[in-house]
Amino acid sequence: MSSTEPGATALHVADLDVSYRVRGKDRQVLRGVTLEVARGESYGLVGESGCGKSTAALAIVRYLPRNGAVSAGSISVAGRDVLDLRGQKLREYRARTVSMVYQNPGAALNPSIRVGSQVAEAFTVLGVPGGDATDRARDALDRVQIADPGSVMRRYPHQLSGGMQQRALIAMALAKNPELLILDEPTTGLDATVEAEVLDLVSQLQAELHTSVLFISHNLGVISKMCSRVGVLYAGRLVEEGPVGTILRDPRHPYTVGLLRCIPRGGVRKDHGRLDTIPGFLPSLGAEITGCVFADRCALADDRCRAEEPRLDKITPVHASRCWHHDRAATLPRAEIADLELPAVDRAGAPLVELAQLSKVFKQRGHEVHALTEVSAAIWPGETLGLVGESGSGKTTLARTLLGIVPPTAGTALLEGGELPTRYQKRSREELRALQIVFQNPDSALNRRHSVRRILLRSLKKLAGVGGSVAETRMHDLVERVRLTERTLTQKPVQLSGGLKQRVAIARAFAGDPKLVVCDEPTSALDVSVQAAILNLLVELQAEKRVAYLFISHDLGVVRYISDRIAVLYLGRLQELGPADVVFEGPHHPYTEALLSAVPTVDGGGRDRIRLDGDIPSAASPPSGCVFHTRCPRKLGAVCEETEPPLVEVEAGHHMRCHIPLEELRRLQRAESQPMAPTA
Amino acid sequence: MLGPYATEEAVAAYNHEHGTDRPAVVQYVDWLRGIVRGDLGNSLAPPEPPVWDVIEPALVNSMKLAVFAFLIVVPFGILGGVFAGLRVGRPTDRGITVVGLSLAVVPEFVTGLVLILVFSIWLGWLPVTAQWEPGAGALTQVRHLALPAMALAIVLFGYIARITRAGVVEALDADYTRTAYLKGLPRNTVISRHVLRNALMPTIAVIATQVGYLVGGLVAIEYLFNYQGLGLMVLQAAQQKDFTLLTAGVLVVGVVYLVVTLIADIAFALLNPRIRFQAAE
Ligand SMILES: Nc1ncnc2c1ncn2[C@@H]1O[C@H](COP(=O)(O)OP(=O)(O)OP(=O)(O)O)[C@@H](O)[C@H]1O
Ligand code: SF4
Ligand code: SF4
Ligand SMILES: [Mg+2]
């Protein structure tokens, strides 16, 4: 990286300006971006949604949207200028030099062509004849560790899981052994364990092939796992750059500082205080900015910041920041006061909701799919029960059963001691308003044609049974509670950003003063700064109204932050249930252990990842004995295959379903978290 | 049936003879029984031939016209749509879109009249009426059918072209097309292998639904060109209050509609592995 001789860099971007033409005006998205990726290096690019990460990637592969254009600067890959490539030269460049893998693998594969021919195409374009191309495609699929590549070749994309689709695309991208591989959010939307597998695969292949990688993500945890250097992009400007460790430990730009503070990490929990946020919004597309691009949202901004833009100055030979006050960046005042009064949860009293031996069997083409098997749990007023598990483990079915959307096959749900009718159509208004839901995608809950005002008034009428001026007063109260402005009331959902829409959805759920709100991945589609604000809002509402949450998320840092207790589901069975800190700190169930080790965190971690081999087994034919035995790294032997362990209370309030005694688990897991100690 | 000057007795006798004095429900059940036996009944108009004998030639005539119209419009519509889609936003695209839209909003009898004016009356190239002499050869039939088929095709052109264009534009913007380009494939390969196949799926679905519309269009066109097809027959049956013929005609139209939709659905499934495999699994 320090060397500048030609050929030593895989990618060199200099002073790149890119703009999109919208309504007859060119709007600048990238502002003089300069970055360099050395041969064999992996460079991370982070920043919140809309800051121009994908635009940079598309400019490099020369595939900007029709209305986009490079207006200044240069890009060279492997020492060759790529901006003036045309026709055959451009095709050659794409076929041999550069590869890109992006988000949403399902859409990136052609739905009507078999996977095998799609992979083979990447070889035929290099001049490999038909039959050979098929063989090479099979080898390529083998290299990305797809089981049974022969049969995968014959399948259509929709017959593969998301993780397999992404592997196939990686196989395609590596077919040419590219000089530069660009990965644009390659694991966003995948399950945590699948994400971990794909990331492992990429780092392994990268080490093998010495490929240079430009890794784009909004997730600093992923970047810190995958990259050695990182660049922080804000509003199309590179604002900070340096080695990953340095950036995480000693960030010198207020934006980086803010990003790091938004992430619930290091085991913080809601009773430690609010999360910090980054107030305000990204400047609009093509906005004219005179001073520092971050000045509008920066608590350290002064007159100079607004008048004069700082340069990207080196703090050390490898670390640079674009800030006048980088020496004070760490002292950035919090945007949110940390204090939060949270009343303690009283578990001596009666629980608010009780699930008693809930089972759900779906009948599907003659098969019985056991989505839930005898799940029992209780939630007390004002507490949050976090629900985790891979996709397909039954989280959503559990929530829907509680809400009466799907009736259970056996078992009951009780609300304040009274049995709830299994279908919501039969539930009284009292029961309906007591249980509400907030979805990952707020659009599904909000009528797009109605104004926010109309949406909220309708919910007030339906849930609280109030109308007229009472409803008006309540609506304004709600709007204030969820920190929306009065202006939002006249707008329609399409005019709102994801974070604002989620606030409306939360206001709607709170219209009837619910006792329990199911939150199904409520922040998964949001940027970290917006996520922090929404989590703060949920916690504030809980402190104020003693509402309980059933909180579903695949982001374990988020679950840990907001939950009092955590339930771990696998194949529809409760594997572990206990206080959040206990479940996270261990000793934990072998499945929980594997889940936790799969998460790439900003803090890194000493221990190696525990690999969960293969996909989650089908719930139509769950394994015998302990359902986890087919993938369990700590499996004891025959006993695990034959007898299903019962769910027992291994210590006060901590339930677990495993044949290994707690003390033994403690010993095993402690031994492994200290790699220096001799292993047992 | 008996004319406006028939006496009351004559009407009553006629009604009794044909069973039209019975309650409507009874008549309906009777009619259904007949259908199940494959008997559509007799026409109420003298000489009261079996309905099927009236419908069959009309059906064949209409099919000829419809198939002819489809043979013209489907290739042109798809070609136009693909052409426009591949040049989205450029003059070719604007031209095709504007022409297609304008043609689609003109009612078919106006289009038909203009065609007659231009091709039959001014240029004298093609006959005014669609009906050929009995026993005419294939070429003569085609000459007679050319104008009405064109009239139908013109109205449908804009529709098919628009759907195809939308399909192409969507496929061009799809991630899989980007994947194909980034593999370094030449543009022609990307278009023929990756874009067109996915782009044409919605078009096929739409063509199937247009069959219903085509039947509506047939009435106007057959009337204008005085062509003895199903549309004209249904229209005349309605004017003469020949209910047996009318109901049978409508029934046949319904069956044709179902069959064609089914065929289109099958074609759609064959092109689309997602549906094909759902059925197999
Ligand atoms: N074709 C386009 N026309 C106009 N504006 C566009 C176009 N594509 C992207 N933009 C805008 O350009 C800005 C940068 O977009 P880009 O997709 O590069 O961001 P990103 O950092 O990749 O975001 P994300 O994290 O959401 O993927 C955004 O404001 C986006 O709305
Ligand atoms: S230059 Fe000023 S406004 Fe910009 S980040 Fe630094 S302190 Fe904040
Ligand atoms: S019972 Fe056996 S297989 Fe199941 S989690 Fe415990 S050790 Fe693993
Ligand atoms: Mg992006």
Q: What pLDDT score does A569 carry?
A: 93
Q: Which residues of B touch A117 (CB under 8 A)?
A: none
What is the rounded CA–CA span in Å between residue A148 and residue A160?
Answer: 12
Which sequence spans correspond to the domains of chain B? 51-280
Q: Is any ligand 3 atom within 6 A of the Cβ of residue A658?
A: yes
Can you give the pLDDT at residue A301?
92
User: What pLDDT score was predicted for residue B281?
Assistant: 39
Q: Among 1.10.3720.10, 3.40.50.720, 3.30.70.260, 3.40.50.12780, name the CATH number for the domain at B51-280.
A: 1.10.3720.10
Q: Is the CB of A640 under 6 A from ligand 3?
A: yes
The Cα-based distances of A68 to A49, A184, A490, A514 in angstroms read 18, 18, 33, 47
Tell me how far CA of residue B262 lies from CA of A253, A258, A412, B34, B276, in angstroms: 63, 59, 45, 26, 15
pLDDT of A495-507, one tens digit each? Answer: 887 788 888 999 8
pLDDT interval class at A676 (50, 70, 90): very low
> Among the listed ranges A58-62, A263-267, A288-292, B35-39, which one has the minimum average pLDDT value?
B35-39
Q: How far apart are CA A298 and CA A276, in angstroms?
A: 13
Helices marked H in B1-90 — which ranges? 8-18, 24-36, 51-86
Looking at all shown ligands, the one closest to residue A634's CA atom is: 3
| Pocket flag, ligand 2, residue A274 (CB < 6 Å) | no
pLDDT level of residue B39 (50, 70, 90 thresholds): low
Confidence of residue B47 (pLDDT cuts 50, 70, 90): low
Contact map slice: A 394-433 vs B, CB within 8 A = none
Q: Ligand 3: which of A613, A630, A634 to mutate, most ligand atoms within 8 Å of CB?
A: A634
Write out pLDDT tens, residues A143-177.
888 878 888 888 888 888 888 899 899 999 988 88
Tell me, in angstroms, the distance from the centre of ligand 1 to residue A31's CA: 14
Q: Sorting pLDDT into bands at 50, 70 and 90, what band is B279?
A: very low
- 8 Å CB contact between A261 and A77: no
Distance from CA of A118 to the nearest CA of B (A): 9
Question: Percent of chain A beyond pLDDT 70?
Answer: 96
Give the pLDDT band (50/70/90) at residue A227. very high
pLDDT digits (tens, 9 = 90+) for A87-110: 889 999 999 899 999 888 888 999
Across the range B255-277, mean pLDDT stands at 75
Pairwise CB contact (< 8 Å): B184 & A92: yes
| Domains of chain A, each with CATH number or no CATH | 9-227 (3.40.50.300), 260-331 (no CATH), 353-563 (3.40.50.300), 586-673 (no CATH)
Which position has the higher pLDDT, A608 or A585? A585
Which atom of ligand 3 sits closest to the CA of residue A591?
A: 5
Q: What angle do CA B214, B219, B223 make, to 5 degrees?
A: 140
Cβ-contact A471, A487 below 8 angstroms: no
Residues 6 or more apart whose Cβ sits within 8 Å of residue B171: B177, B194, B195, B196, B198, B199
State how beta strands A418-419 and A410-415 pair.
antiparallel
Q: Round the average pLDDT of chain B to a whole number and report it.
A: 77
pLDDT for B6 beyond 70: no
Q: What confidence tens digit (pLDDT) does each residue in A283-330 have?
A: 888 888 889 999 999 999 999 999 999 999 999 999 999 999 999 988
Find the length of chain B. 281
A158 touches chain B (CB under 8 A): yes
pLDDT at A3: 42
Region B55-62: mean pLDDT is 81
Dist. CA A232 → ligand 2 center (Å)? 14
Confidence band of A351 (pLDDT split at 50, 70, 90): very high
What is the DSSP annotation of B67-98?
HHHHHHHHHHHHHHHHHHHHTTTSHHHHHHHH
Question: What's the rounded mean pLDDT across residues A509-535?
Answer: 87
Verify whether ligand 3 is closer than 6 Å to residue A634 (CB atom). Answer: yes
Sequence-ordered list of residues with C-beta below 8 angstroms from that of A559, at least 6 positions apart, any chain:
A386, A388, A551, A553, A566, A580
pLDDT band at B116 (very low <50, low <70, confident <90, very high): confident
Where does residue A324 fall: left (phi above 0), alpha (psi -120 to 50 degrees), or beta otherwise?
A: alpha
Query: What pLDDT shows up at residue A54?
Result: 92
- Determine whether the interchain pair A107/B181 forms a contact, defined as Cβ–Cβ distance below 8 Å: no
Q: pLDDT tens digits for B150-183?
A: 888 888 888 888 888 888 888 888 899 999 999 9
List CB contacts (< 8 A) between A59 and chain B.
Answer: none
Structure tokens at A386: 């976090």
Which residues of chain A are within 8 Å of residue B179 when distances are taken between CB atoms? Answer: 108-110, 169, 172
Evaluate if residue A230 carries a pLDDT over 70. Answer: yes
Q: What is the pLDDT of residue B17?
A: 62
CA A556-A558-A561 angle, 5° bins: 110
Residue-averaged pLDDT of chain A:
87
Per-residue CA distances from B72 to A185, A631, B78, B227 (Å): 47, 61, 11, 19
Q: Which of A100-104, A113-117, B207-211 has the lowest mean pLDDT?
A: B207-211
Identify the top-confidence range among A8-17, A159-168, B35-44: A8-17
Span from the CA of A580 to the centroid of ligand 3 (angstroms): 21
Q: Assess whether pLDDT exceeds 50 at residue A680.
A: no
- pLDDT (0 to 100) of residue A606: 42
Which residue in the block uniquely carries the two structure tokens 């013929």? B245
Residue A563 pLDDT grade (very low, low, confident, very high; cuts 50, 70, 90): very high
ipTM above 0.85, yes or no: no
The shortest CB-CB distance from A61 to any of B182, B271, B272 is to B182
More confident residue, A160 or B280: A160
Angle at A404 between CA A425 and CA A439, to 5 degrees: 110
* Residue A604, pLDDT score: 59
Asked whether residue A210 carries a pLDDT value surpassing 70, the answer given is yes
Pull the structure tokens for residue A510.
């709170």
Q: Which residues surround ligand 4, an ion (CB under 5 A)?
A: A 54
pLDDT band at B31 (very low <50, low <70, confident <90, very high): low
pLDDT for residue B37: 67
Nearest CA to ligand 3 atom 8: A635
Q: Which residues line ligand 1 (CB under 6 A)?
A: A 20, 22, 29, 47, 49-55, 65, 67-68, 218, 285
